[in-house]
């Protein structure tokens, strides 16, 4: 039974990672220039969580870590913390810090209304 919970938790972490990456890509202004990856790191530490980050040649970057808390209880939840930075169409650099957990996705940034 424990391996089933671990497998399910890994699937939840992967799904959350994919959704968060898609949100950044889809929500970010698209520029018609070539962009390359300048750095990338990823560490899947199993049920304990994951860490990843990347930087792109256009100045975009993202750092994120996730962990499963309250493992094995009915209050089990994935907590994801991170930030991403990008250059807007106006030429300004924007940074968003976020947390996503059982209380939802909560972004913060100087440009985001409170």
3-state secondary structure of 95: strand
At residue 30, the pLDDT reads: 58
Domain boundaries, the chain: 2-108
The tens place of each residue's pLDDT in the chain, 114 residues long, gives 444 455 555 666 666 666 666 666 666 555 557 889 999 998 887 777 899 999 999 899 999 999 988 888 888 888 999 999 998 888 899 999 999 988 889 999 988 887
Cα angle at 13 between 54 and 76, to 5 degrees? Answer: 135
**56 φ, ψ (degrees, to nearest 5):** -115, 160
């Amino acid at each position: 039974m424990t391996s089933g919970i671990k497998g399910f938790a890994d699937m939840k972490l992967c799904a959350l990672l994919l959704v968060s990456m898609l949100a950044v890509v889809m929500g970010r202004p698209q520029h018609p220039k070539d962009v390359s990856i300048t750095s990338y790191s990823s560490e899947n530490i199993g049920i304990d969580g994951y860490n990843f980050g990347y930087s792109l040649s256009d100045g975009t970057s993202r750092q994120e870590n996730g962990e499963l808390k309250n493992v094995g209880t009915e209050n089990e939840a994935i907590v994801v913390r991170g930030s991403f930075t990008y250059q807007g169409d106006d030429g300004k650099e924007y940074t968003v810090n976020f947390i996503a957990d059982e209380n939802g996705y909560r972004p913060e940034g100087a440009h985001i209304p409170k």
